[in-house]
Amino acid sequence: MSHETLVLIAKVVGPIWMGGFLFVVLIRAYNPRRKPEQERIARSILPDADAEDRA
Amino acid sequence: MLQRTSRARLADAVSPWFVLIGFNLFCVWAATGYVMGQTQSKEYAEPEWYADLWLVLVWVTYFVVYIRTLARRAEPHIYVANWYYMAFILVVAMLHIVNNLALPVTWGSGESFTIWSGVQDAMIQWWYGHNAVAFFLTAGFLGMLYYFLPVRAQRPIWSYRLSILSFWGIVFFYMWAGSHHLHYTALPYWVQTLGMTFSVMLLVPSWASAGNAIATLNGAWHKVRDDAVLRFMFVAAVFYGLSTFEGSFLAIRPVNSLSHYTDWTVGHVHSGTLGWVAMIVFGAIYSMVPKLWGRNDMAWPKAVEWHFWLAIAGTLIYVVSLWNAGITQGLMWRAYDEGGALSYSFIESVEAMLPYYAARTLGGGLFLAGALLCALNCRATMRAAGNRVDEADRPLATQPAE
């Protein structure tokens, strides 16, 4: 493989792979169905969360 | 934090001690190497191969303990702070191993040669160096911010989904930013431009994290006013936002032509380490120490307030003096007279630094005084340990017999 081909792959595949992965994260993180679970996770570290879980 | 957010004990009793003692042994080995002139001349990666191999052993053990503890968690999810810690441990291992690939001259010698050559060596070094800032000096501290700030403010993080997005944004973008350290060098121009572009893009996930932390305090500003511990965390988030903005700005090629090799860079790094990293660490210390020693508060609550203002004053004086020093140096070095000769000798630019370095010493002194006060306060708190047992505090998952 020539140096130029390697550079072309690095320039094209790298950003597309990374951008695509970030797009998947965006879709998954902002899926409305995940919101209740995310709110529960965010509250799980608060001091009164343990008591709520046991109730 | 890992144990508490996972509601599980550490996976092993011995290996955490190996990690603690082993890492400190590495630090001693690295420091003695400097004194004896045993370094491989790589910034932030000076220790020679014998110390590097030892660190690999310690760090892999650290990762194994971390993953095994995470695997036995009693929570269905992995809280976002633990993702940051995982990235910190994993990426630091990757960076350390790749940048330190070297061949010793002989097995009996401390000297070695890197396997990377020429500009590739420079690129690997700054891929390592900038990601050391990202994953050694940022990721773990963001983990602290995402845990201690909501707990202290008693409010959930403003947007959990934004915290996920900014985590992956930081992981993806930082990896490409290192080449901004090599502007105007033999590195191919497009690689420099790539690093500059990703450095500017980094501002988005960085400000998402800083903004998420500050927005969490909405409705709790009275606590920020009254509680110096929470104020440390708030200031840390503000400095995180400021220093990441400055970092993106300094990575832009024409700005870098003025700032590079000057004390502006040093000021930028201290805005991050004193204003962001140290402030969140102080917040975490003041949150944990009373809890660990069975007390409601630190032994000297007023000293926390004093520490806060010493730290703020020290950081601001330090950073502002180095901004001035760096821009003065940059302008003096690029000033030419009518005949095209340099207007100032290098030693004249050193002499011009006197007032700025005096201010820097004052700022550093104030900051250090605050840190000493913190250490004494911690000692007093430990000596006055209470026997308070918080019945509602159940960090571990309920066992079947209960």
What tens digit of pLDDT does each residue of B293-342 get?
988 899 999 999 999 999 999 999 999 999 999 999 999 999 999 999 99
A55: contact with B, CB 8 A cutoff: no
Chain A nearest-CA residue for B172: A18
Element containing residue B103 per DSSP (H, E): strand B102-104
pLDDT-flagged residues of chain A (< 70):
48-55
d(CA B277, CA B163): 18
pLDDT of B234: 98
For residue A54, the model assigns a pLDDT of 45
pLDDT for res B398: 62
CA B321 to chain centre: 22
Predicted confidence at residue A15, as pLDDT, reads 76
B327 touches chain A (CB under 8 A): no
Q: Which two tokens stand for residue A14?
A: 């790298």
All structural domains of chain A with their residue ranges: 3-54
Q: What is the pLDDT of residue A13?
A: 84
| Contact yes or no for A41 and B160 at CB 8 A | yes
Would you give the DSSP letter of residue B338? T
Distance, in angstroms, between B37 CA and closest chain A CA?
Answer: 38
Asked if the Cβ–Cβ distance from B394 to A29 is below 8 Å, we say no
pLDDT reported for residue B378: 97
Encoding tokens for residue A55? 């109730």
Name the residue of chain A whose CA is nearest to B157's CA: A42
* pLDDT for the residue numbered B392: 63
Q: Are B160 and A38 contacting, i.e. CB atoms less than 8 angstroms apart?
A: yes
pLDDT given for residue B30 in this prediction = 92
| Cβ-proximal residues to B401 (8 Å cutoff; 6+ apart), any chain | none
Question: What is the structure's pLDDT at B326?
Answer: 97
Q: What is the ipTM of this complex?
A: 0.84
What are the beta bridge partners of residue B161?
A: none
Q: What is residue A14's predicted lDDT score, i.e. its pLDDT?
A: 77
CA distance B150 to B291: 16
Both tokens of residue A4? 């130029």
Residues in chain B, pLDDT under 70: 390-395, 397-402
Outline where B41-117 has alpha helix (H). 49-71, 80-99
